[in-house]
Amino acid sequence: MQKEDIYSEIKNLAPQIAYFSMEIGLRVDLPTYSGGLGVLAGDTIKAAADHELPYVAVTLLYREGYFRQHLEENGQQIEHPVNWNPSNLLIELDLITVEVEIGGRTVALRPWLYFVEGCSGGRVPVFFLDSDLPQNHKDDRKLTAQLYGGDKRYRLSQEIILGIGGLRLLSMLERRMILNFHLNEGHAALLTLELLQRYRRNIEETWDPDQVWDYDRVRQHCVFTTHTPVPAGHDRFDYGLVEELLGSYIPIDVLKRFAGDDDLNLTTLALNLSRHTNAVSKCHRDVSTLMFPGYTIKAVTNGVHSPSWTNKEFSQLFDRYLPDWRRDNFLLRNAIMIPDEELFAAHQSAKKRLLKYISETNSVELDPEILTIGFARRATPYKRATLLFSKPDRLRHITEHYGPLQLVLAGKAHPHDEPGKKLIRDIFTAREQLKDLIKIVYLENYDMELGKLITGGVDLWLNTPTRPLEASGTSGMKAAHNGVPNFSVLDGWWIEGWIENKTGWAIGPLPTGPTVDEKSSRLDADDLYNKLEKNIIPTYYHKRSDWIEIMRQAISFNASFFNTYRMLMEYYMNIYSFDPPVRTALTHRHDH
């Protein structure tokens, strides 16, 4: 495509939904994501493209990516910048420059463009903002280098670029009013300030200082998705720092009215200036409602983009039995008709592909006939990656008396998350202690490609978060798309997808409330071991047809529902729609 054509295409955009996200994970060689939030963003955009929805998306161009993970002998994580060349995949829109003021300096931003192509010709433009321009101060050139790198000042600068810079970019391009700005997590919330500026009334127009800022109008155009109950996931900044970076852009006393009294809380800002707020599962809605009293929080349970997360073996099977499943993911419910032999053969073939990868990268030979448990997620304490190893003797006893197990793990720890890094070392220690009985591999550098290989190649997908901190989780949905049953703590999406002995198994009780129950770990571990012993291992080895039935039901019940097709329909019906009418008065609420 010629560049002139691209400029004319984007100048003629008429998007109705503008999706703002700090990270977007579209493909493994576009390393502008760290984990679940980014992958969800990417999956959402892909589904929008499949269904030719009028979307546009904005994020940042991270020239060093998040990081590439290397693990030492003892499990110590070493972080390396990712080497990639944006011009291999993205189009630099060098005729366009957007400017923002940060800390008294003008920072010029260059958009790079990527078109996400849908399965029937639709395309969604994704803009990546880049501050690495020669006219910028040398420190400012680094502002978009790293995802989640740096300190508070760095983070706030990036959020200014995303929210304010992103909106300025769209203002240059859009031909007609965007109906909904979708704030994917609070990171993007500063765009509400730029909207306030855009809709600002002249004092001569109103003669009332209170009427200068048109909150209602801003609120009519913004919707907000909150993604985590974990406090560290909600960005807060000292008003001192805000003033330093934003200067007189917006009076702090105005900001305090809707962004928190004590500090700038991006979640509070987003809650106050959005028409709708949603959480990412029903359980997360209930938890968020208690965390943010006074706000109406809806639930739109996450999904995954089915064609992206179904491996090639199952894609071929679905193409044969459920033509058109890629566009209409609801057809996956008819997977119930796929014969045992074909389903299991597809799985074994995917499993062997994973084992081959493990043999090549880690020189460990796993056995395709042994029940293989997978666990891959961010290494951070609430995910409790070591719960399975909490009673090593019990685990030994189980494998000796009920049937053998092998384990495949992966996951990065955030560079500043020391307890998370220690978890990886602890797993390496457990691996040494158990090595005579159970083969355990920890794969380096968990990314989208590895995620697809593991979720589709193991026999059972394990998840053991501390209730109720897992807002949704999506890797278990990927597993379900490949006929892999879940074995998980009842939290996030799994409360909705769990049918005991039909789609997988639960670990521990349902959450009882919003508080973290630290004492539950022992009980959860006991339940985990009991179910392995009494239920899961015997079914896998001795009731193979029952096992295959569960695999099939995982697809029929869960892949057919926990996908971005259903998710986007819910966004359209419940979040993007303009009914019921918007609130009229800004009610100031305190910070949480």
Among residues 453, 493, 497, the alpha carbon closest in space to that of 473 is found at 493
* Closer residue to ligand PLP, CB minimum distance, 109 or 454: 454
Report the C-alpha gap between 588 and 256 in whole angstroms. Answer: 9
List the interface residues with ligand PLP, window 458-477 (CB under 6 A): 473-475
* Closer residue to ligand PLP, CB minimum distance, 160 or 480: 480
* Closer residue to ligand PLP, CB minimum distance, 377 or 552: 377
SS3 311: coil
In the complex, minimum distance from the CB of residue 423 to ligand PLP, in angstroms, rounded to a whole number: 14
* Closer residue to ligand PLP, CB minimum distance, 125 or 473: 473
Report the C-alpha gap between 252 and 513 in whole angstroms. Answer: 36
Q: Count how many Cα atoms sit within 13 Å of the Cα of residue 333 in the half-sphere of its side chain.
A: 7
* Closer residue to ligand PLP, CB minimum distance, 276 or 378: 378
* Closer residue to ligand PLP, CB minimum distance, 186 or 456: 456
Say if residues 90 and 113 touch (Cβ distance below 8 Å): yes
What residues form DSSP beta bridges with 537? none
In the complex, minimum distance from the CB of residue 383 to ligand PLP, in angstroms, rounded to a whole number: 7
CA-to-CA dists, residue 65 to 30, 375, 385, angstroms: 8, 24, 25
Q: Is 36 in the site for ligand PLP (CB under 6 A)?
A: yes
Binding mask 55-94 for ligand PLP (x = CB under 6 A): ----------------------------------------
* Closer residue to ligand PLP, CB minimum distance, 355 or 448: 448
* Closer residue to ligand PLP, CB minimum distance, 66 or 318: 66
Determine which residue in the list 141, 168, 377, 439 makes contact with ligand PLP, applying CB under 6 A: 377
In the complex, minimum distance from the CB of residue 81 to ligand PLP, in angstroms, rounded to a whole number: 18
In the complex, minimum distance from the CB of residue 378 to ligand PLP, in angstroms, rounded to a whole number: 6
List the interface residues with ligand PLP, window 198-227 (CB under 6 A): none
In the complex, minimum distance from the CB of residue 115 to ligand PLP, in angstroms, rounded to a whole number: 22
Neighbours of 425 (CB within 10 A): 17
Report the C-alpha gap between 41 and 17 in whole angstroms. Answer: 13
* Closer residue to ligand PLP, CB minimum distance, 102 or 490: 490
In the complex, minimum distance from the CB of residue 586 to ligand PLP, in angstroms, rounded to a whole number: 34
Determine which residue in the list 39, 45, 195, 551 makes contact with ligand PLP, applying CB under 6 A: 39
Binding mask 474-513 for ligand PLP (x = CB under 6 A): xx--x-----------------------------------
Among residues 157, 192, 263, 140, the alpha carbon closest in space to that of 20 is found at 192
Report the C-alpha gap between 178 and 54 in whole angstroms. Answer: 10
List the interface residues with ligand PLP, window 517-576 (CB under 6 A): none
Q: Which stretch binds ligand PLP (CB under 6 A): 31-39, 109-117, 243-251, 323-331?
A: 31-39
Amino acid code (one letter) for 405: L
Say if residues 408 and 372 touch (Cβ distance below 8 Å): yes
Among residues 374, 304, 301, the alpha carbon closest in space to that of 39 is found at 304
Binding mask 303-342 for ligand PLP (x = CB under 6 A): ----------------------------------------
Binding mask 98-137 for ligand PLP (x = CB under 6 A): ----------------------------------------
* Closer residue to ligand PLP, CB minimum distance, 215 or 562: 562
Among residues 550, 545, 541, the alpha carbon closest in space to that of 401 is found at 541
Neighbours of 157 (CB within 10 A): 23
Handedness of CA 433, 434, 437, 440 (dihedral sign): negative
* Closer residue to ligand PLP, CB minimum distance, 473 or 497: 473
In the complex, minimum distance from the CB of residue 475 to ligand PLP, in angstroms, rounded to a whole number: 3
In the complex, minimum distance from the CB of residue 464 to ligand PLP, in angstroms, rounded to a whole number: 11
In the complex, minimum distance from the CB of residue 448 to ligand PLP, in angstroms, rounded to a whole number: 5
In the complex, minimum distance from the CB of residue 66 to ligand PLP, in angstroms, rounded to a whole number: 10
In the complex, minimum distance from the CB of residue 288 to ligand PLP, in angstroms, rounded to a whole number: 17
At 54, give phi and psi (nearest 5°). Answer: -80, 75
Q: Count how many Cα atoms sit within 13 Å of the Cα of residue 207 in the half-sphere of its side chain.
A: 0
In the complex, minimum distance from the CB of residue 435 to ligand PLP, in angstroms, rounded to a whole number: 26
Close Cβ partners of 418 (under 8 Å, ≥ 6 residues apart): none
One-character DSSP codes across 175-193: SS--SEEEEESGGGTTHHH
What residues form DSSP beta bridges with 441? 408
Cis previous bond, 468, omega within 30: yes
* Closer residue to ligand PLP, CB minimum distance, 35 or 504: 35
- β-pairing, 222-225 vs 77-80, is unpaired
Say if residues 421 and 79 touch (Cβ distance below 8 Å): no
Report the C-alpha gap between 501 and 532 in whole angstroms. Answer: 12
User: The tokens of 522 are what?
Assistant: 């022992």
* Closer residue to ligand PLP, CB minimum distance, 107 or 379: 379
* Closer residue to ligand PLP, CB minimum distance, 399 or 564: 564
At 439, give phi and psi (nearest 5°). Answer: -85, 125
Burial 94-120 (b: 16+ CB within 10 A, else e): eebebebebbeeebbbbbbbbbbebee
The site that binds ligand PLP (CB under 6 A) totals a number of residues, namely 12
In the complex, minimum distance from the CB of residue 150 to ligand PLP, in angstroms, rounded to a whole number: 21
SS3 82: coil
**How many residues are present in the chain?**
592
Q: Nearest to ligand PLP by Cβ — which residue?
A: 451
User: The tokens of 413 are what?
Assistant: 């720890």
In the complex, minimum distance from the CB of residue 482 to ligand PLP, in angstroms, rounded to a whole number: 13
In the complex, minimum distance from the CB of residue 172 to ligand PLP, in angstroms, rounded to a whole number: 33
SS3 478: helix
Q: Which stretch binds ligand PLP (CB under 6 A): 35-43, 115-123, 338-346, 393-401?
A: 35-43
List the interface residues with ligand PLP, window 399-458 (CB under 6 A): 446-448, 451
Binding residues for ligand PLP, per CB under 6 A? 35-36, 39, 377, 446-448, 451, 473-475, 478
